[in-house]
């Protein structure tokens, strides 16, 4: 395990209590999985944050996030670290960069997918992580099924070796649960890309990313071949295990006529990312009706779901 990564993790663990000393943020992503849920199979060097409430408007959420990031800066400064705000285009202040000597940790709030599918949980560092870094930390985070549900989307979308490694470890330690797949469908529904491109897309060449941005992060070496096999297995398992309700929901949303009752999450229709996806699909159906219809037909074909021809709809204003 590369000492450079280890130094960054030390900084991350020093900062984490200050980041989550509030009731609106929870941890998600690789750090939550590898340092808390799993027993440190790899290091993770960023803090991915979810804004827990889904009810506030976009403007209210941005104000909340910016205010809390300033609070975090004030809590971190006495620790002897440098904290800088990294503005995000069209999203205000949703990122911080923490620096100490040669280490940097980025804190990024996921502004688009606000809210959670499942209730958050509080978890302590895994035993190995706590022992390795001589510290104890407990933070709020997404429930494990939701952590992995969102991770599956990332693994298929960006196909980074780190994400594929996390999926491989999931396969090695229990595999996909029904709840994980349900969360995956909800996160897929709130994503920016067409569903069929994520589920059945082209495999990327990840060899360079593997050598430049993955090797050295794991406690034990993991060959590239293992990650490629994991990607194939993930595509195959999801294709086999998506339920009729999940398949039908994805097709209905692709038609801009979502059958929300097909999802188990009772507030799915209120989640900002899914509302925004629906509005974008409505705009797409108006601007490019033939492509809109073809996209849904392709998804229905790949998911083996009978699809009625979707009706192009008028675009509406951006959700608040």
- Predicted pLDDT at 1: 65
Whether 170 is in a domain gets the answer: no
Q: What is the gyration radius of the CA atoms in the chain, in angstroms?
A: 20
Shared-domain flag, residues 137 and 247: no
Residue 265 has what pLDDT?
A: 98
Final residue of a structural domain among 110, 126, 142: 142
* Total of domains in the chain: 2
Q: What is the CATH number of the domain that holds 18?
A: 3.30.460
Which residues are paired to 123 by β-bridges?
139
Please tell me the predicted confidence (pLDDT) of residue 306: 80
In-domain check, residue 47: yes
Residue 179 lies in a domain: no
Which pLDDT does position 317 carry in this prediction? Answer: 43
Last residue of a domain, one of 84, 107, 142: 142
Statement to judge: residues 132 and 263 lie in one domain: no
Sheet holding 121-124, edge to edge: 82-88, 92-100, 103-110, 46-51, 25-28, 138-141, 121-124
Residue 92 lies in a domain: yes
pLDDT tens for residues 222-233? 999 999 999 999
pLDDT of 315 reads 42
Residues of the chain where predicted confidence (pLDDT) is lower than 70: 1, 89-93, 307-320
Other CB atoms within 10 Å distance of the CB of residue 17: 16
Residues 137 and 259 in one domain: no
Contact 19, 107 (CB under 8 A): yes
Q: Is the pTM above the cut of 0.75? A: yes
Which domain range does residue 283 map to?
243-303
Q: In this structure, are 1 and 137 located in the same domain? A: yes
Residues 255, 136, single domain; the answer is no
Same domain, 20 and 134: yes
108 lies in a domain? yes
12-39: pLDDT as tens digits: 999 999 999 999 999 999 999 999 999 9
Residue 316: per-residue pLDDT: 43
Asked which of 85, 115, 142 is the last residue of a domain, the reply is 142
The DSSP call for residue 138 is E
Within-domain flag for 105: yes
Q: What is the structure's pLDDT at 3?
A: 81
pLDDT of residue 196: 97
């Amino acid at each position: 395990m590369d000492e450079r990564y280890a130094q960054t993790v030390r900084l991350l663990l020093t900062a984490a209590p200050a980041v989550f000393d509030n009731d609106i943020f929870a941890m998600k992503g690789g750090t939550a999985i590898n340092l808390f849920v799993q027993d440190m199979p790899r290091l993770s060097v960023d803090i991915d944050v979810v804004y827990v409430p889904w009810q506030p408007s976009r403007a209210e959420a941005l104000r909340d996030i910016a205010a809390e990031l300033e609070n975090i800066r004030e809590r971190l400064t006495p620790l002897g670290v440098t904290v800088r705000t990294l503005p995000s285009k069209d999203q205000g202040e949703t990122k911080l960069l923490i620096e100490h000597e040669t280490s940097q940790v980025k804190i990024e709030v996921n502004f688009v997918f606000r809210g959670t599918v499942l209730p958050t949980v509080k978890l302590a560092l895994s035993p190995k992580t706590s022992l390795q870094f001589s510290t104890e930390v407990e933070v709020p985070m997404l429930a494990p099924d939701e952590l992995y549900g969102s991770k599956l989307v990332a693994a298929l979308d960006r196909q980074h070796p780190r994400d594929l490694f996390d999926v491989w470890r999931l396969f090695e330690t229990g595999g996909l649960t029904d709840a994980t797949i349900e969360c995956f469908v909800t996160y897929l529904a709130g994503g920016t890309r067409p569903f069929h491109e994520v589920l059945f897309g082209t495999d990327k060449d990840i060899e360079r990313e593997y050598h430049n941005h993955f090797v050295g992060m794991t406690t034990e070496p993991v060959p590239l071949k293992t990650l490629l096999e994991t990607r194939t297995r993930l595509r195959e398992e999801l294709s086999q295990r998506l339920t009729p309700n999940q398949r039908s929901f994805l097709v209905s949303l692709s038609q801009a006529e979502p059958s929300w009752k097909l999802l188990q999450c009772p507030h799915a229709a209120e989640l900002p990312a899914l509302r925004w996806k629906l509005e974008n699909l409505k705009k797409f159906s108006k601007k490019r009706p033939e492509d809109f219809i073809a996209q849904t037909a392709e998804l229905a074909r790949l998911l083996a779901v009978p699809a009625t021809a979707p009706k192009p709809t008028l675009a509406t204003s951006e959700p608040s």
